[in-house]
Copies of this chain bind each other. A is one copy, B any other.
Amino acid sequence: MKNAVILFSGGLDSTTCLAYAKSKGFKCHAISFNYGQRHSAELNAAKKIAAHFDADHHIVEIPIAQLGGSALTDTALDVPDYKGDNTIPVTYVPARNTIFLSFALGWAEVLKADDIFIGVSSVDFSGYPDCRPEYIEAFQKLAKLATKTGVEEGKITINTPLMNLSKAETVKLGLSLGVDYGMTVSCYQADSDGKACGVCDSCALRKKGFDEANLADPTPYI
Tell me the A residues contacting B by CB distance below 8 Å. Answer: 58, 60-64, 66-69, 88, 92-99, 101-103, 105-107, 109-110, 129-130, 132, 134-135, 138-139, 141-142, 145-148, 150-152
Contacts and interface: CB of A to CB of B under 8 A. Distances in A.
A105 to B, nearest CB: 4
Contact of A146 (B61, B67, B97): B97
Copies in the complex: 2
Given A110-B69, A142-B138, A142-B142, A95 B103 contact: yes
A76 to B, nearest CB: 14
Given A67-B106, A69-B110, A94 B138 contact: no
A104 to B, nearest CB: 9
Given A61-B61, A93-B106, A99-B99, 8 more contacts: A68-B110, A92-B148, A96-B106, A98-B105, A98-B106, A138-B145, A138-B146, A142-B142
A95 B147 contact: yes
Given A139-B142, A145-B138, A151-B129, A95 B106 contact: yes
Contacts of A129: 145-148, 150-151
A92 B106 CA distance: 11
A63 B107 CA distance: 11
Closest A-B pairs by Cβ, 9 of them = A95-B106, A69-B110, A94-B109, A94-B106, A138-B142, A99-B102, A98-B102, A95-B105, A135-B145
Contacts of A105: 94-95, 98
Nearest to A92: B148
A143 to B, nearest CB: 8
Contacts of A88: 148, 151-152
